[in-house]
Structure 1
Amino acid sequence: MCSGHYIWAIFFFASLCSASLANNAKINFREKEKKVLDQILGAGKYDARIRPSGINGTDGPAVVRVNIYIRSISKIDDVTMEYSVQLTFREQWTDERLKFDDIQGRLKYLTLTEANRVWMPDLFFSNEKEGHFHNIIMPNVYIRIFPNGSVLYSIRISLTLACPMNLKLYPLDRQICSLRMASYGWTTNDLVFLWKEGDPVQVVKNLHLPRFTLEKFLTDYCNSKTNTGEYSCLKVDLLFKREFSYYLIQIYIPCCMLVIVSWVSFWLDQGAVPARVSLGVTTLLTMATQTSGINASLPPVSYTKAIDVWTGVCLTFVFGALLEFALVNYASRSDIHKENLKKKRRDLEQASLDAASDLLDTDSNATFAMKPLVRHPGDPLALEKLRQCEVHMQPPKRPNCCKTWLSKFPTRSKRIDVISRITFPLVFALFNLVYWSTYLFREEEDETF
């Protein structure tokens, strides 16, 4: 029994000794990290003002490889022509002065949080308008130093970048927004930026934009030459396609409905002047208000946009319907005037015929003359029979369908309404065919990205 307790006591003491040795080893290992940092970054050991040497220790330019991870794109503003993006930005380069012993592979890398301790590339975003770092809860930045002298710098930043837009096809357009990164002070003789091999740009999988879709992106180089030298530059072009469903529901369908409502006046009675005037003026004002609202959400550009063509033609159709009623009203008054003149003429002719018949009755009672059996060539009755024969001898004319159909409507005002009922929808349908075919095909042709 005593021997068993003795064995358990020995085992417990051995475990305590091993745990204490492990803790001491960890403490000693962290002490070794501190010693390594002091060894490579201590006073008089490293000067952060001097750039690293080139590849393989040569005197060539320092090579910095860049990759970015796009976390979110919050907005794309058409009025100010800018977009906001949040990304994780990474740079990696080799500094021979930062090599250290990895203690047989146990020390994989050293971590720093102060960027001023080592040399940093002077990269800046050339199309940046605003930007800020993220410091909650701690500054979102780190620097890793690897045993071979490789340095990895990673930081999370939010940027508002300029994005010049061409809105000729708005809202059937695609926009290319760039992210440009260049060296501010070091020329290509001292510093060269390169995209990281493999996958230099990564995008979060659930990226969602309210009115755009990120179709694809392309990395490229944009070195610039100035009076002070050539500077290395990287760029990534983001192709955004505008979501058309929003504009179809909010703009195109309501405009079509307003145009169709303006055609209702063609089916109203000509005498319903208040109804037709109020309908035309209301649709015209509504269309003008919607057009001004659309233009308020866009920058005042000097060229014509696709939406301007649509709203302009719709406004013209609504205004044309109002002018059509003015023409119908004028034609109606003209028809009434002509009808009154015809009535007066018929009354005068009837009065003259009555007077002539009374005179003939008086002459027939006073005198009686024998009429010849053979009529003279100048006899009116003979001339009338001759005309009838000539008419029967002429070939029959082909009936005109349009004139025959229009002859069913006795007044010009009614004919104008009937013609408008057919002409306005046909012309609007033809405009839609030309509009959609033109801008949809042009959208495909202009896509050169």
Structure 2
Amino acid sequence: MDVARLMVLLYFDVCFSDDLTLRENVTILLDNLLQTYDKSVRPAGRDGPLVIKTNMLVRSMGPITESEMTYSLQCYLRQSWHDERLKFDLPNVTEVTLSNTFLKDIWKPNTYFLNGRLSTQPNITVPNVFVRIRKDGSIYMSRRLTINAKCPMNLLDYPMDAPVCPLLLAGYGYTTDEIIYRWQTSNKSGVEIYDDVTLSQFDIVSIWTANNTYSDALGTQSGLEVYFHLKRHIGFFMLQTYLPCTLIVCLSWVSFWINRDAAPARVLLGVTTILSTAAVGLIQRDGLPRVPYATALDVFLNVCIFYNLAAIIQYSAVNYFTKILPKEGGASYEEDETENVLNEDQNGVLDWNSTIGKETQTGCLILFCRCLLGNFRFRYNMVKSADAANGNSVSSIDILSRYIFPLSFCLFQAFYWAWYLRFKLS
């Protein structure tokens, strides 16, 4: 009996008063309660299964990792249940607060997280858990936990997405005939959160809770669900991705104002803008999982690359069809070669001198088609009709591109933000 009393004194930290008599009475009481207590036996419920009332207090949250689709949080998991075997009657004492070592000697629920991974309980400086016992046998237990859980994300609207991260709790090894979990709703949801909890990339919009059941080989188990509804901040992506890529696309349009004879400058500008946009895309894609679909960010980056590429293709058309004179005003080697080929046509099927006016007065679409088909005869007529004195004037294709490219890109931007922001604002 003295050994058991000494163990109780080591286990418990009772802070009611400095009265030694009261301390001794509590020690004797707890010693008597544990003498016949069997922690392997589940407490009996009142008129049915044992009810485990649960609530949570979230102390901090994050980080949320898209590459692994996981999130972490620190919380106080509070559970209460009734155990008739721990009822006591002691004058002037309604409840006893005990240290964490007392949990080793009593039954407690086998609560686990269905979608958890590598969750821990802080043990600095001691295990962060305490328990209270009321005189009617009610037990209140609070644990401080660091939870890592899976958060399935649909990244179609990334970075305008609003992920919902669940946390699923259940009791391992007990069916609904033995244990039922219920949210202890001191507020609307049963989950509270500190006002100073913030995330770097998300806003916590709302928290929903629900009671649920899960079925496995052991039977149907009672469980609880928490859903953290988040909304991603878009400011970081506006500054690091959308604005730089938009400016790079606008930079590619500068080539429309560069003289068509400056081929190295226009080609270098086009290649540089493509590589710059691709580099920004690789940096932003580095932290994302390799999903088989295109995100909203992928759509924007690919369209930007398309516009940069289109600027180079546009110069190819300009160089092929409208740059008909070299800088010195004479015919180039390719044009001389084309003329010789045409002069070798002995059949005289086409009289090119008589059709110069018709061939040169064509639209942009016809010019583009002839560029794809490699129409050398048309280019030969353009060379013969060129004004060697004035040289190469401003290309009509460049003039038209100065309006078409910015206008179409603005229309894309308007449609893009209208389409994706409807999810952000809903």
TM range (shorter): 0.7 to 0.9
Q: How does 1:391-406 map to 2 (within 5 A)?
A: none
Give the counterpart of 2:406 among 425, 428, 440: 425
The equivalent of 1:10 in structure 2 is: none
Whether the aligned pair in 1 keeps the contact of 2:259 and 2:394 (CA below 8 Å) is no
Q: Residues 255-334 of structure 1 correspond to what in structure 2 (within 5 A)?
A: 255-334=245-324
Q: What is the match of residue 106 of structure 1?
A: 93
Judge conservation of contact 1:175–1:239 (CA < 8 Å) in 2. yes
Shift of 1:111: 1.7
Look up the match of 1:245: 235
Distance 1:441 1:63 in 2: 43
8 Å contact kept, 2:211–2:224: yes
Verify the 8 A CA contact 1:328 1:413 in the aligned structure 2: no
Q: What is aligned with 1:35?
A: 28
The one-letter code sitting in structure 2 at the alignment partner of 1:173 is D
Secondary structure of the structure 1 residue equivalent to 2:22: helix
Structure 2 stretches lacking a partner, 5+ long = 1-15, 332-363, 365-389
The separation in 2 between residues aligned to 1:239 and 1:442, in whole angstroms, is: 14
Q: Residue by residue, what CA displacement relative to the aligned partner does 1:224-272 show, whole Å, maximum 9, x if unpaired? A: 1223210001010001110000111010000000000000000111111
Does the Cα contact within 8 Å between 1:335 and 1:412 map onto a contact in 2?
Answer: no
Contact residue 324 and residue 392 of structure 2 kept, 8 A: no
Whichever residue aligns with residue 167 of structure 2, its letter is: L
Which SS does the other structure have where 1:36 is aligned?
Answer: helix
Letter in 2 for 1:31: E
Q: How does 1:21-420 map onto structure 2 within 5 Å?
A: 26-42=19-35, 45-55=36-46, 58=47, 60-103=48-91, 105-114=92-101, 115-199=103-187, 200-334=190-324, 414-420=395-401
Alpha-carbon distance between aligned partners in 2 of 1:136 and 1:37, rounded to the nearest angstrom: 27
Q: Tell me, yes or no, if the aligned pair for 1:33 and 1:110 is still in contact at 8 Å.
A: no
Once residues 29 and 251 of structure 2 are traced to their aligned partners in structure 1, the CA distance between those partners, rounded to angstroms, is: 81
RMSD: 2.4
Amino acid of the structure 1 residue aligned with 2:115:
N
Q: Secondary structure at the match of 2:63?
A: strand
Write 1 or 2 for the structure with the bigger share of helix.
1
Kindly name which structure, 1 or 2, has the bigger radius of gyration based on alpha carbons: 1
CA apart distance, 1:136 = 1.1
Contact 1:102-1:108 at 8 Å conserved across structures: no
TM-score, normalised on structure 2?
0.78
Return closer, same or farther for 1:412/1:331 CA change in 2, 3 Å cut-off: farther
Shift of 1:220: 0.7
2: distance between equivalents of 1:143 and 1:161?
Answer: 26
In structure 1, the gaps of 5 or more residues are: 1-22, 342-401, 403-408
The CA deviation string for residues 177-222 of structure 1, in whole angstroms up to 9 with x for no partner, is 0111011100000000000032221101101111111111100123
Q: TM-score, normalised by structure 1?
A: 0.74
**Is the CA contact 2:249–2:307 (under 8 Å) kept in the aligned structure 1?**
yes
Partner of 1:218, secondary structure, is strand
How many residue pairs are counted as aligned between the two chains? 351
Tell me which amino acid in the other structure corresponds to 2:25.
K
For 1:313, what is the secondary structure of its paired residue?
A: helix
Question: How big is each residue's C-alpha offset from its partner over 1:384-408, in whole Å with a ceiling of 9 and x where there is no partner?
Answer: xxxxxxxxxxxxxxxxxx9xxxxxx
Between 86-95 and 274-283, report the one with greater CA deviation: 274-283
Taking a change above 3 Å as real, the CA distance of residues 259 and 97 of structure 1, as seen in their structure-2 partners, is same
Deviation of the 1:27 alpha carbon: 0.3
The runs of at least 4 aligned residues of structure 1 exceeding 6 Å deviation read 409-413
Q: Distance in 2 between matches of 1:24 and 1:187?
A: 42
Q: 2: CA distance between counterparts of 1:340 and 1:112?
A: 98
In the alignment, the residues of structure 1 paired with residue 392 and residue 399 of structure 2 have an alpha-carbon distance, to the nearest angstrom, of: 11
Q: In structure 2, what is the Cα distance between the partners aligned to 1:442 and 1:113?
A: 47
The percent identity for this pair of structures is: 35
The aligned counterpart of 1:441 is 422
Determine the C-alpha separation between the residues in 1 that align with 2:416 and 2:151.
Answer: 28
